[in-house]
Amino acid sequence: MLIGYARVSTGLQNLDMQTGALTQYGCTKIFHDEMSGTKKQRPGLEEALTYARQGDTIVVWRLDRLGRNMQDLIQIVNNLNEQGIGFHSLQENLTMDRGNATGQLIFHLFAAFAEFERNLIQERSATGRVAAKARGRLGGRPEKFESKDIEMMKSLIESGTPIKDIAEKWGVSRTTIYRYLEKKDDELKKDNI
């Protein structure tokens, strides 16, 4: 039996392409996860591995969909091999026959290339963030309050208004009020240095 496993890193990405390719290849059962591959606990993968029996083959769209890193990928495929379960990656057109030296060599090479590609993406992302920061773009969520809002909050607190009431007035949690007030105090301390 061919058992598919698909994974996307975020909810913004779509599983359709992977599940379509797995179905077209002949997978009769497909498991999936919508989470980063760096997470150790991936329920869909765990279900697929538990569901597979000796003689079955686990099929993925690409090697990097299966393992968190090269070591994890090798460990998963070795465990499959020990249980008599096959492994196939569609994009690399790689069927693992771990019973021979050539299959092992090919597996290690493709796993290394998959990890290399992932590292390149991370490096490019980091470089992009640095370049954006140099241009004055800091990313993240925009500030919720302007300075005048924070000053008004401080005045209300000084006049004895409970934080709970202030938070309700602005429609935020008390923690948010405290965080903005603390941030404002830190900025004032830096300006006075």
Q: Same domain for 103 and 151?
A: no
- The closest alpha carbon to 87, from 67, 113, 68, 112, belongs to 67
Report the C-alpha gap between 12 and 6 in whole angstroms.
Answer: 15
Reply yes or no on whether 9 is catalytic.
yes
Domain end, chosen from 86, 107, 131, is at 131
Three-state secondary structure call for residue 2: strand
Q: Same domain for 27 and 118?
A: yes
What ranges make up the beta strands (E) of 50-176? 57-60, 86-89, 94-96
- The closest alpha carbon to 22, from 30, 33, 11, belongs to 30
Q: Check: pTM over 0.75? Answer yes or no.
A: no
Report the C-alpha gap between 80 and 54 in whole angstroms.
Answer: 9
Quick check: 96 pLDDT over 80? no
- CATH for 29: 3.40.50.1390
Give the residues across from 119 on adjacent strands.
none
Structural domain boundaries enclosing 99: 2-131
Q: Same domain for 157 and 183?
A: yes
178 part of a folded domain: yes
Q: pLDDT tens digits, residue range 103-129?
A: 677 767 767 777 787 788 889 888 988
Q: Same domain for 99 and 7?
A: yes
Q: Which residue bears the tokens 């496993």?
A: 5
Q: How many domains does the chain have?
A: 2
Q: pLDDT tens digits, residue range 158-186?
A: 899 898 998 898 888 888 888 888 887 77
Report CA-CA distances (Å) from 78 to 19, 142, 169: 24, 46, 58
Q: Same domain for 176 and 116?
A: no
139 part of a folded domain: no
Q: Same domain for 174 and 89?
A: no
Report the C-alpha gap between 193 and 185 in whole angstroms.
Answer: 13
76 part of a folded domain: yes
- CATH for 172: 1.10.10
What integer pLDDT is reported at residue 93 of this predicted model? 83
136 part of a folded domain: no
